[in-house]
Amino acid sequence: MDLFLPESGLVIWMLIAFVIVLLILAKAGWPMIMGAVEKRNSHIADSLLAAEEANNALAGIEQKRQETMAAAQAEQIKIMKESQDLKTQLIEEAKTQARQEAEKIVAEARLKIEKEQAEAMANIKNEVIALSVDIAEKLLQRELSDKPSQDAYIEQLLKNNQPRIEA
């Protein structure tokens, strides 16, 4: 049992050693430990502040990204609308131009038809006149003996009865 009961001198020397170690630690070790703890606390606080600033910056960047995306989508919609309007305008211009070309072609065709019709009527008149003259000549040859009197009679008939052919 002597092991568990120290002598009084040993206890005193142990107390003196403990106080000396405590004083040395209090003078030299304790400020270093407290400085390291405070330095670590300030580092942790700075890190938390930096993390909060980084989160705020990230939130700002996210907001800017969303604003940029919204602006890009608005620009995309605007460009799509402009291209749709341009497409509609080009289609309308093409339709108008096609109508004008068609009207021009129809007008030219009408003029050509009228011209050909007039030429055909003139040809028919000339042929009718030539045939009438031939027939009249053959008929009048029996009645008139000389050529000058036949021509005079034909001209008289033509002046009095000009043929009327409607188009």
Domain boundaries, position 85:
8-160
DSSP 3: T
Tell me the longest C-alpha to C-alpha distance in the chain.
Answer: 192
24-33, 112-121, 139-148, 155-164 — which one is most confidently predicted on average?
Answer: 112-121
Domain annotation covers residue 2: no
Q: What is the pTM of this model?
A: 0.40
How many domains does the chain divide into?
1
Taking alpha carbons only, the member of 103, 155, 116 closest to residue 133 is 155
Domain annotation covers residue 156: yes
Domain annotation covers residue 166: no
* pLDDT score, position 34: 86
More confident site: 160 or 54:
54
Domain annotation covers residue 3: no
Domain annotation covers residue 29: yes
Instruction: With cut-offs at 50, 70 and 90, classify the pLDDT of residue 126.
Output: confident
The SS3 call for residue 19 is helix
